[in-house]
């Protein structure tokens, strides 16, 4: 305790001395800090005032420069000031803003609040200097004093250097700022307005303005040389464009052409001589009235400056090609392993079109859910994924064509209709072709694809749409209950959708419905495998071997409409005339039991066997193929039998017109004639096919015919279907110059069809499968699609 007290007294004794020293030290330190801060604040205030004076001086120099520049007596300046003065005038408001900012009484306070006392204020005016330097360098190649040399070397002037040069020059005798003095010198060197505006007049901007003004204020010289259309010409054009509508009313095309020719013949020579120049006499010598009328209207439209960019209903935006190749999309209604014509023939078409280097090809086929696959595909064959089915399709194709086809296979959702025995698309089929590939579309069975199509119009999305008619639906429908009434409605619906969704329609034979925009041409070939079989059998016959050891046979899907009713009628009527004649029948189908029962009841010599591939080895030895069907459009089995060198006995029918030119094709008109042809074929040997006949049956020839008759050759080669005429050095294109009444009507039909197919009640009343306006959840899982509610969140127009 004593020690503690002693230590306490010892420690507390010097306390007054140390407190005074500490207080004196703190006071001295605080005075030094305060003095230093005051000095810094005064320095910053002086610098701010110097910047204010700098801005004022700079603004005064600019005003002096403008006043001195306005004193020049250059006449053209009053109407159009030179670029240098305009630049300075544009710069003046910016400098005024800088001056007002630095002369503000709150400037020092704001600087002190924002910056610490030791921080240096740096204001970069290099943007202004760089703008002046760039403008000066464009005209004179740059200025010569050392500050601007630094700018050209890529380093801007610092504020201290800039201020030092300014101060130095002002002390030498109140000299003017160097860039302003250079601009004044250049203005004084120019003595005339032509020198001042020489570069401006020759600039690209002025040339563009001139061209735009010329386009707006077009001289009406051309319009004075082209007389307006008169009433007969307008009536002729109206009749010509109303051709499809008049055709529906029963007026033949020849009658419309005669009306147009009579209307145009009165003033044709006078009008053409006045509207066309002397160098275009070739058009005057032409006998094509339609071309002359189109050219006449195109010249009148061009003289008025009119440019047609699409119809009222049409979408004028067409898809441009992103690469050098064209894109062809083939859309069909069936797929392998369903061995039907719409599954096999489009597959071969895709393979042979892809062999051309001008285009990329995509084959779009329907994808069926597993429950529908079990109903459609033979031998209970099913696929768990589209990739698996694609492998099957490619293997089947390569085994028959002998080369690897380079084309893409895509799938769209489809559902099988038991009542119609066909696949109906679900949803908008056109959406499964990307817009970047939407160039040319080939619709296999266009009426079938578009009966219930509720989506984008094909002719709006694609540049060229071709339909290929495979099936004579009217013939099938007439065989059903109330068939005549149903056929009446289906006929007009087919006309409707063909007009609305196709640019061109190809009919395989005259047995099909006469659709708008259609021509007749067989664009199908036979499997190359059948041609090889025919060559092999011909070689065996040349060696003296017996190529055909069997009699007659018939092959086809076992449904009444495929010719089985006609076959049973013919054999039952001439049972005695064909005594001892046996016929082997190969086929499977829904009516198999009924067909076999009818044959047994009539005691006909028919041997029924299961269906098989026509190229099967067991069918090579047959000599005669009998096909009495009149419902087919173009029987593929008939072409295959001819390719193998067999006799073919078929009805004298438009569907067999293509085959009648072959010597081994024996056609009959009556039932008695049928008996005579059967006996003739059994008693003789068929003639070997010539190389030309084999080529006509091949897919190479069929592809060439398709390219020609579908206008695909012209489209792929970028040949304009409209004739071009050089009038006063300009091109006149009649395909782009005028709207067509037919196009507007087609667009209206497409819009009406879209509205009607969007109503589920109307779809069900016309026989659609429930829920096919959009694809279902199973299709979403199989094809990895987003639900339709996500793809189209709002249903409407």
pLDDT in tens, 734-787: 444 455 777 788 888 999 999 999 899 999 888 888 988 898 899 999 998 888
Cα 670 from Cα 651, distance rounded (Å): 8
Check whether 361 has a pLDDT greater than 60. Answer: yes
Cα 139 from Cα 198, distance rounded (Å): 12
CA 128 from centroid of its chain's CA atoms: 50
Average pLDDT over residues 706-726: 68
Check whether 418 has a pLDDT greater than 60. Answer: yes
DSSP per residue over 345-366, as a string? HHHHHHHHHHTSTTEEEEEEEE
Check whether 396 has a pLDDT greater than 50. Answer: yes
Percent of the chain with pLDDT over 70: 64
Percent composition of the chain: helix, strand, coil (DSSP 3-state, to 5): 55, 10, 35
* Phi, psi of 650, deg, nearest 5: -145, 165
Cβ atoms of 69 and 182 within 8 Å: the answer is: no
Pick from 111-125, 160-174, 662-676, 723-737: least confident: 723-737
Long-range contacts for 556-559 (Cβ within 8 Å, ≥24 apart)?
556/586, 556/587, 556/627, 556/629, 556/637, 557/340, 557/587, 557/588, 557/589, 557/611, 558/585, 558/587, 558/588, 558/589, 558/590, 558/591, 558/592, 558/595, 558/611, 559/421, 559/589, 559/590, 559/591
Q: Which residues, other chains included, contact 620 with Cβ-Cβ below 8 Å and sequence gap of 6+? A: 533, 537, 644
Check whether 450 has a pLDDT greater than 90. Answer: yes
Question: Helical H runs in 526-633?
Answer: 528-542, 564-573, 592-601
Check whether 393 has a pLDDT greater than 60. Answer: yes
Task: Give the residue, 51 or 91, on which the prediction is more confident.
Answer: 51
Task: Give the residue, 99 or 623, on which the prediction is more confident.
Answer: 623
Q: Which residues, other chains included, contact 237 with Cβ-Cβ below 8 Å and sequence gap of 6+? A: 293, 297
Cβ atoms of 702 and 523 within 8 Å: the answer is: yes
Q: How crowded is residue 419: how many other Cβ atoms within 10 Å of its Cβ?
A: 8
Greatest mean pLDDT among 158-167, 280-289, 463-472 lies in 463-472
For 683-704, letters b (16+ CB in 10 Å) and e give eeebebbeeebbebbbbebbbe
If pLDDT is split at 50, 70 and 90, which confidence band does 624 have? very high
If pLDDT is split at 50, 70 and 90, which confidence band does 425 have? very high
Question: Helical H runs in 71-102?
Answer: 75-79, 83-102
Task: Give the residue, 544 or 397, on which the prediction is more confident.
Answer: 397
The rounded radius of gyration (Å) of the Cα atoms in the chain is 45
Task: Give the residue, 416 or 1, on which the prediction is more confident.
Answer: 416
Check whether 76 has a pLDDT greater than 60. Answer: no
CATH of domain 528-697: 3.40.50.2000
What is the third-level CATH fold of 326-524+711-717+739-783?
A: Rossmann fold (3.40.50)
pLDDT of the residue at 266: 61
N residues, the chain: 797
Cα 131 from Cα 422, distance rounded (Å): 75
Cα 765 from Cα 359, distance rounded (Å): 41
Pick from 162-166, 483-487, 682-686: least confident: 162-166
Task: Give the residue, 365 or 735, on which the prediction is more confident.
Answer: 365
Angle (CA) 592-595-598 rounded to 5° is 145
Task: Give the residue, 213 or 455, on which the prediction is more confident.
Answer: 455
Task: Give the residue, 181 or 286, on which the prediction is more confident.
Answer: 181
Q: Which residues, other chains included, contact 273 with Cβ-Cβ below 8 Å and sequence gap of 6+? A: 284
pLDDT of the residue at 321: 53
Greatest mean pLDDT among 95-109, 110-124, 194-208, 497-511 lies in 497-511
pLDDT of the residue at 309: 45
Average pLDDT over residues 367-395: 92
Cβ atoms of 625 and 555 within 8 Å: the answer is: yes
Greatest mean pLDDT among 62-76, 89-103, 167-181, 736-750 lies in 736-750
Pick from 187-196, 275-284, 462-471, 666-675: least confident: 275-284
- Tokens in use for 226? 């082209």
Angle between helices 671-683 and 564-573 (to 10 degrees): 90
Check whether 286 has a pLDDT greater than 90. Answer: no
Check whether 343 has a pLDDT greater than 80. Answer: yes
Check whether 642 has a pLDDT greater than 80. Answer: yes
If pLDDT is split at 50, 70 and 90, which confidence band does 140 have? very low
Cα 349 from Cα 703, distance rounded (Å): 7
For 480-511, letters b (16+ CB in 10 Å) and e give eeeeeebbeebbebbbbbbbbbbbbbbbbbeb
Greatest mean pLDDT among 293-297, 447-451, 588-592 lies in 447-451
User: To the nearest 10°, the Cα dihedral for 252, 257, 260, 261?
Assistant: -140
pLDDT of the residue at 357: 66
Angle (CA) 710-716-720 rounded to 5° is 85
Greatest mean pLDDT among 31-40, 101-110, 111-120, 158-167 lies in 31-40
Q: Which helix or strand (DSSP H or E) is residue 622 part of?
A: strand 622-627
Check whether 37 has a pLDDT greater than 80. Answer: no
- Tokens in use for 743? 């196009």
Task: Give the residue, 200 or 76, on which the prediction is more confident.
Answer: 200
Percent of the chain with pLDDT over 90: 33
Q: What is the pLDDT of residues 474-503, one digit of tens each?
A: 888 887 888 888 889 999 999 999 999 999
Pick from 10-14, 57-61, 178-182, 761-765: least confident: 10-14
Strand partners, 626: 649
Mean pLDDT across the chain, nearest whole number? 75
Check whether 11 has a pLDDT greater than 50. Answer: no
Cα 714 from Cα 102, distance rounded (Å): 73
* Phi, psi of 730, deg, nearest 5: -120, 155
Assess whether the previous peptide bond of 337 is cis (omega < 30° from 0).
Answer: yes
Check whether 725 has a pLDDT greater than 60. Answer: no
The number of CA neighbours under 13 Å toward the Cβ of 712 is: 28
Greatest mean pLDDT among 40-54, 100-114, 262-276, 560-574 lies in 560-574
pLDDT of the residue at 12: 41
Cβ atoms of 664 and 690 within 8 Å: the answer is: no
pLDDT of the residue at 317: 44
Query: Residue with structure tokens 């066309």?
Result: 276
Cα 539 from Cα 541, distance rounded (Å): 5
Check whether 283 has a pLDDT greater than 80. Answer: no
Cβ atoms of 648 and 627 within 8 Å: the answer is: yes
Cα 389 from Cα 399, distance rounded (Å): 16
* E-strand stretches of 628-699: 647-651, 665-668
pLDDT of the residue at 265: 72
Cα 258 from Cα 622, distance rounded (Å): 54
* Start-to-end C-alpha separation, the chain: 104
pLDDT of the residue at 172: 45
Check whether 159 has a pLDDT greater than 80. Answer: no
Angle (CA) 510-512-515 rounded to 5° is 100
Cα 328 from Cα 353, distance rounded (Å): 9
User: To the nearest 10°, the Cα dihedral for 353, 357, 358, 364?
Assistant: 40
Greatest mean pLDDT among 44-58, 248-262, 739-753 lies in 739-753
The number of CA neighbours under 13 Å toward the Cβ of 226 is: 22
Cβ atoms of 408 and 362 within 8 Å: the answer is: yes
Task: Give the residue, 273 or 159, on which the prediction is more confident.
Answer: 273
pLDDT of the residue at 21: 65
pLDDT of the residue at 355: 86
Check whether 196 has a pLDDT greater than 80. Answer: no
Pick from 290-304, 396-410, 722-736: least confident: 722-736
pLDDT of the residue at 208: 60
pLDDT of the residue at 118: 46
């Amino acid at each position: 305790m004593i020690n503690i007290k002693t230590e306490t007294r010892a420690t507390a004794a010097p306390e007054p001395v140390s407190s005074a020293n500490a207080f004196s030290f703190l006071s001295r330190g605080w005075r030094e800090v305060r003095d230093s801060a005051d000095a810094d604040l005064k320095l910053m205030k002086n610098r701010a005032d110097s910047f204010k004076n700098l801005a004022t001086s700079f603004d005064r120099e600019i005003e002096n420069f403008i006043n001195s520049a306005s004193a020049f007596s250059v006449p053209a300046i009053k109407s159009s000031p030179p670029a240098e003065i305009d630049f300075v005038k544009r710069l003046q408001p910016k400098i005024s803003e800088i001056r007002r900012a630095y002369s503000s009484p709150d400037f020092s306070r704001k600087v002190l609040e924002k910056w610490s006392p030791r921080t240096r204020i740096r204001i970069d005016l290099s943007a202004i200097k760089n703008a002046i330097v760039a403008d000066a360098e464009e005209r004179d190649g740059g200025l010569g004093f050392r500050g601007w040399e630094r700018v050209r070397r890529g380093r801007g002037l610092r504020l201290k250097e800039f201020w030092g040069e300014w101060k130095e020059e002002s002390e030498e005798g109140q000299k003017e700022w160097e860039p302003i003095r250079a601009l004044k010198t250049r203005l004084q060197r120019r003595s005339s307005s032509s020198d001042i505006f020489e570069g401006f007049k020759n600039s690209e901007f002025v040339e563009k303005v001139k061209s735009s003004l010329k386009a707006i204020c077009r001289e009406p010289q051309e319009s004075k040389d082209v007389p307006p259309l008169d009433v007969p010409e307008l009536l002729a054009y109206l009749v010509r464009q109303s051709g499809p509508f008049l055709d529906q009313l029963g007026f033949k095309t020849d009658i419309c052409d005669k009306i147009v020719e009579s209307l145009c013949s009165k003033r044709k020579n006078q009008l053409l001589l006045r509207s066309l120049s002397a160098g275009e006499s070739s058009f005057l010598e032409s006998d094509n009235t339609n071309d002359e009328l189109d050219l006449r209207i195109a010249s009148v439209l061009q003289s008025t400056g009119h440019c047609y960019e699409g119809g009222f209903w049409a979408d004028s935006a067409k898809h441009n090609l992103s690469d050098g190749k064209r894109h062809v999309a083939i859309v069909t209604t069936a797929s392998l392993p369903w061995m039907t014509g719409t599954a096999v023939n489009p597959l071969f078409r895709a393979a042979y079109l892809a062999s051309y280097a001008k285009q990329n090809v995509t084959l779009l086929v329907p994808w069926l859910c597993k429950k529908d696959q079990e109903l459609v595909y033979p031998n209970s064959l099913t696929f768990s994924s589209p990739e698996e089915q694609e492998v099957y399709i490619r293997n089947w194709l390569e085994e028959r064509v002998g080369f690897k086809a380079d084309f893409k296979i895509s799938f769209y959702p489809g559902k099988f209709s038991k009542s119609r025995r066909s696949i109906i698309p679900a949803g908008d089929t056109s959406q499964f072709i990307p817009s970047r590939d939407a160039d040319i579309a080939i619709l296999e069975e266009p009426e079938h694809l578009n009966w219930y199509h509720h989506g984008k119009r094909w002719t709006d999305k694609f540049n060229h749409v071709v339909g290929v008619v495979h099936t004579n639906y009217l013939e099938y429908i007439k065989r059903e209950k109330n068939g005549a009434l149903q056929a009446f409605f289906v006929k007009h619906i087919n006309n409707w959708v063909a007009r609305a969704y196709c640019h061109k329609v190809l009919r395989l034979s005259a047995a099909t419905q006469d659709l708008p925009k259609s021509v007749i041409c067989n664009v199908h070939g036979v499997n190359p495998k059948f041609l090889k079989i025919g060559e092999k059998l011909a070689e065996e016959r040349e060696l003296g071997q017996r190529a055909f050891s069997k009699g007659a046979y018939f092959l086809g899907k076992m449904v009444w409409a495929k010719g089985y009713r006609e076959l049973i009628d013919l054999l039952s009527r001439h049972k005695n005339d064909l005594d001892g004649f046996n016929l082997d029948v190969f086929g499977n189908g829904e009516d198999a039991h009924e067909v076999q029962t009818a044959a047994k009841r009539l005691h006909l010599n028919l041997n029924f066997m299961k269906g098989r591939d026509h190229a099967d080895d067991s069918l090579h030895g047959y000599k005669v193929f009998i096909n009495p069907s009149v419902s087919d459009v173009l029987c593929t089995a008939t072409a295959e039998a001819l390719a193998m060198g067999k006799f073919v006995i078929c009805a004298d029918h438009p569907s067999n017109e293509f085959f009648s030119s072959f010597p081994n094709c024996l056609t009959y008109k009556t039932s008695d004639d049928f008996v005579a042809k059967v006996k003739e074929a059994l008693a003789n040997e068929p003639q070997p096919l010539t190389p030309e006949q084999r080529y006509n049956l091949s897919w190479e020839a069929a592809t060439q015919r398709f390219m020609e008759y579908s206008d695909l050759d012209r489209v792929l080669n970028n040949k304009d279907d409209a004739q071009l005429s050089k009038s006063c050095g300009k091109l006149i294109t009649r395909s782009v110059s005028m709207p067509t009444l037919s196009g507007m009507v087609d667009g209206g039909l497409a819009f009406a069809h879209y509205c009607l197919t969007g109503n589920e009640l109307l779809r069900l009343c016309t026989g659609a499968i429930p829920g096919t306006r959009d694809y279902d959840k199973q299709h979403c899982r199989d094809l990895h699609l987003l639900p339709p509610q996500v793809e189209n969140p709002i249903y409407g127009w």
